[in-house]
Amino acid sequence: MRIKKVMNLNRLKNKILLIIFPLALTHFIKDVRADWLSESAPKKIITLAPSNAEIVSELLHQNWDTIVGVSEYTQVPEQKKIAIIGPMNRLNYEKILELNPDLILATREGNNKQQIEKLKKLKLNVVTVGSESLEKLKKSFLVIGNSLKIKNEDNQVYKNFDKNFTEIVSMYKKKLKHKKYTIIIAQHPFFVVGGKNFIHDLFLSIGMENVFSSEKERFPQVSFESIIQKKFDFLIINETNPFKKKQIINKMNKIFISNLNKPKIVFIKGDALLRPSQNVLIAFEDLLKNIVSFHNE
Query: Residue 297's pLDDT is what?
Result: 58
Better-scored residue on pLDDT, 208 or 247: 208
Query: Residue 229's pLDDT is what?
Result: 86
45-154 in CATH: which number?
3.40.50.1980
Q: Per the confidence metrics, is the pTM higher than 0.75?
A: yes
Q: In whole angstroms, give the CA distance from residue 95 to residue 98.
A: 5
- Residue 269 CB neighbour total at 10 angstroms: 13
Query: Residue 156's pLDDT is what?
Result: 97
Question: Is residue 123 helix, strand or coil?
Answer: coil
| Domain ranges (residues) in the chain | 1-40, 45-154, 173-295
Q: In whole angstroms, give the CA distance from residue 252 to residue 184.
A: 12
Is pLDDT at 9 greater than 80 in this prediction? Answer: no
Average pLDDT over the chain, rounded to an integer: 85
Check for a shared fold between 45-154 and 173-295. Answer: yes
What is the band of 222 on the pLDDT scale with cuts at 50, 70, 90? Answer: very high
What own/partner pairs with CB < 8 Å and gap ≥ 24 does 186-191 have?
186/219, 186/238, 186/240, 187/237, 187/240, 189/221, 190/221, 190/222, 190/223, 190/224, 190/227, 191/219, 191/220, 191/221, 191/222
pLDDT digit string, tens, across residues 231-266: 899 999 987 655 566 667 777 766 666 555 678 889
**Cα distances (Å, whole numbers) of residue 189 to 86, 265, 294:** 25, 19, 27
Query: Residue 282's pLDDT is what?
Result: 95
CB 175 within 8 A of CB 227: no
Q: In whole angstroms, give the CA distance from residue 111 to residue 162.
A: 26
In the 8-state DSSP scheme, what is residue 250? H
Query: Residue 27's pLDDT is what?
Result: 40
pLDDT digit string, tens, across residues 91-110: 999 999 999 999 999 999 98
Query: Residue 271's pLDDT is what?
Result: 86
pLDDT digit string, tens, across residues 105-147: 999 998 999 999 999 999 999 999 999 999 999 999 999 999 9
Is pLDDT at 4 greater than 50 in this prediction? Answer: no
Query: Residue 296's pLDDT is what?
Result: 64
Q: In whole angstroms, give the CA distance from residue 257 to residue 1.
A: 110
Q: In whole angstroms, give the CA distance from residue 8 to residue 16.
A: 12
Q: Of the spans 13-17, 61-65, 153-157, 184-188, which averages the highest pLDDT?
A: 153-157
Classified by CATH at the fold level, domain 173-295 comes out as Rossmann fold (3.40.50)
Is pLDDT at 20 greater than 50 in this prediction? Answer: no
- Closest listed residue to residue 99, CA positions, set 35, 47, 147: 47
